[in-house]
Chains A and B, each alone.
Chain A
Amino acid sequence: MAKGTPRRSPLLLVLGPAADLDEVRRELASFELVTAPSTAAAASALRASPIEAAVVSAEAPTAWIVELLAAIDRIRPGIPVLAVRHRNAEESPGWRARGVGVLRQPLLPDALARSVSAVLGLRS
């Protein structure tokens, strides 16, 4: 990085139905975000931008996470995925091994932002 250049904030991909993205946007205001209302849009964003982590909103169907993981494996393998899920939602057994972190609602204030920072901190 050139001297004097401000460090850019990490670029995150946020996947979820449009109506569900506001809360995630508010929570992750300190990050640079690319939002995707479908898995096809998410795959395009992964191709087009240097995404460092992906966040899935609570209302995104489980199948979207499966498709997102497949797209990540193809396009940008290894980036972590944080999935916000409802309190009693089922969790696929293979997710943890594939670098998915599941946050269960309700969330503490800033829990998602702190999780993203800490997960990205592991990679720095």
Chain B
Amino acid sequence: MQDRHRCRIVLRNRTWGGGRRCVVVAPRAARVEVVSSVLASVGFRIDRTTTEAAALSTLERGPVAAAFVAQAMGPLALGTIVARAAQLDPEIPVIVLGSSSAVQDVVDAMQHGAADYLPLPVDRDLLLSRARALLDRAAAAAGAAPSLQPGFMGIVGSSPAIRRVLESVEKISRYKTNVLILGESGTGKEIIARALHAKGPRRQHLFVPLNCATLGKEILENELFGHEKGAFTGANERKKGLFELADGGTLFLDEIAEMDPGTQAKLLRVLERNEFRRVGGTAKVKVDLSVIAATNRDLPDALSAGKLREDLYYRLKVVTIALPPLRERKEDIPALIEAFIADFNRRHGGKIHGISPQALKLIMEYPWPGNVRELKNAIESAAILAGRETIGPEAFAELAAARHGTETRTVPQGDAVLLAVGSTIADAERELILATLRRRPTRAEAARVLGLGLRTLYTKLLGYGAETARALPELPARRRA
């Protein structure tokens, strides 16, 4: 019985490969014959190559089940072979046949994109079990892109506005294209960029984010293009730039309008020709990557002020995603609060259950000029200071005061008061009274202009509460009626 069982396993193993191709890449001197013979013994066809060029052309000849690359090929060849295999089919597992058991060697191989690392000489059973696990995983993952639902990559909300964004991400992510993301500060532009990358055909490669506002011109160009050895004082060795690092993947350039116009011109050339020169270099470096750019600026203003080059804008704007500010998707606020509280509890071991209805009312009334980022910070701050499991309205007292302050500071334009559609009559009256008080030297005169008795004005001010009184500027003593 046992013999019959063993016989069945052997027979099944002999046909496991099913004639599929495995590429084994190693210098002639490397002892990888055992790898080839073990794989051949279970039914794989083996293409044995000894050079990087031969490995690449073998990979390009047709479907490959797996590639086994000796670390002795060197880090450059290893990186190139792994990257090419992933470009041809992201699910092809590349197994590095290592020369050592040093942790750093393993990590280096994995950072190149290898699926596994087996030090030579390798045991037959270990080789087969690891190869089988990788091939099974690859078969299960083949063609399966992650599903794009609210919650994917931290995107929270189900409002029509956020659904439209997700639909755009779904459609755009199918293509290797450049994208421009517009939206106010704090609307989640980087999250959407990451979602585009994670959903798209470049997902097996790097997503490299860079905030263009944080670096000066020279440092930014050095970061983007890298430099040759000796390009400037202190350039002791060649350094790859972010374009090379993101090769095959996605480069996310946040706050693109803050980039120097000269650097924008160089970026445009990379987008048009897919090549560039390192700082201090003469050789052209070819790259294949998608660029996602983002800005929180008003684009007509940025273009007319020369902050964003028109030619770069037209190159990028082919595919544009506009992110809605939080005030235009307030129905998502309860879900966002729930997500932020869950996140807080997980990170800090908190026991916050939620917020009170009064607190939610205050939050819903606030315009959130800093968008989701501001909401997240407010919830985290309230959760830290909360003395009980439910966050009450007192945690958002400053928010209410700031709201009144913000409105009275920003809403009036000249002698007019601008009111958002959806404001109540009581809101309109309060804004008009507060704006008038700011423009008149005394409260008595404000009352006269408003057509109110002074006592009525005081009664209304008292009704607006202490927060409003705090938001008003101190009146000089002589003005206090």
Q: List A residues at the B interface (Cβ < 8 Å).
A: 18-19, 21-22, 80-82, 96, 99-104, 106-109, 111, 114-115, 117-119, 121-122
Tally of contact residues, B, Cβ under 8 A: 30
The reply to whether A111 and B111 contact each other, CB–CB distance below 8 Å, is yes
B206 / chain A contacts, CB cutoff of 8 Å: 106-108
Shortest Cβ distance from residue B251 to the other chain A in the assembled complex, whole angstroms = 10
Can you give 10 A-B contacts (C-beta < 8 A)?
Answer: A21-B347, A101-B104, A101-B106, A103-B107, A107-B206, A111-B110, A111-B111, A115-B110, A115-B111, A122-B103
The reply to whether B119 and A82 contact each other, CB–CB distance below 8 Å, is no
Residue among A100, A106, A115 making CB contact with B207, cutoff 8 Å:
A106
Shortest Cβ distance from residue B188 to the other chain A in the assembled complex, whole angstroms = 16
Closest chain A residue, CB of each to CB of B246: A106
The reply to whether A115 and B204 contact each other, CB–CB distance below 8 Å, is no
Interface residues of B in 102-140 (CB under 8 A from A): 102-104, 106-107, 109-111, 113-119, 130
B4 / chain A contacts, CB cutoff of 8 Å: none
B204 / chain A contacts, CB cutoff of 8 Å: 108-109
B343 / chain A contacts, CB cutoff of 8 Å: 22
A107 / chain B contacts, CB cutoff of 8 Å: 111, 206
Closest chain A residue, CB of each to CB of B130: A121
B347 / chain A contacts, CB cutoff of 8 Å: 18-19, 21-22
The reply to whether A115 and B209 contact each other, CB–CB distance below 8 Å, is no
Closest chain B residue, CB of each to CB of A124: B126
Shortest Cβ distance from residue A63 to the other chain B in the assembled complex, whole angstroms = 21
Q: How many angstroms between the C-alpha atoms of A50 and B110 in the bound complex?
A: 25
The reply to whether B109 and A106 contact each other, CB–CB distance below 8 Å, is no
The reply to whether B101 and A122 contact each other, CB–CB distance below 8 Å, is yes
The reply to whether A100 and B104 contact each other, CB–CB distance below 8 Å, is yes
Q: How many angstroms between the C-alpha atoms of A111 and B205 in the bound complex?
A: 10
A80 / chain B contacts, CB cutoff of 8 Å: 103
B107 / chain A contacts, CB cutoff of 8 Å: 82, 101-103, 115, 119
Given that A106-B207, A106-B245 are known contacts, is A114 also in contact with B104, CB under 8 Å in the complex?
no
Q: How many angstroms between the C-alpha atoms of A108 and B206 in the bound complex?
A: 5
Shortest Cβ distance from residue B153 to the other chain A in the assembled complex, whole angstroms = 10
Closest chain A residue, CB of each to CB of B209: A106
A104 / chain B contacts, CB cutoff of 8 Å: 111
B402 in the interface, Cβ–Cβ < 8 Å?
Answer: no
Known contacts A114-B115, A122-B103, then 15 further A-B pairs from the complex at CB < 8 Å, ordered by chain A residue: A22-B343, A80-B103, A81-B103, A96-B103, A101-B106, A101-B107, A104-B111, A108-B110, A108-B111, A108-B204, A111-B111, A115-B111, A118-B109, A118-B110, A121-B116
Q: How many angstroms between the C-alpha atoms of A114 and B115 in the bound complex?
A: 7
Shortest Cβ distance from residue A23 to the other chain B in the assembled complex, whole angstroms = 11
Shortest Cβ distance from residue A68 to the other chain B in the assembled complex, whole angstroms = 14
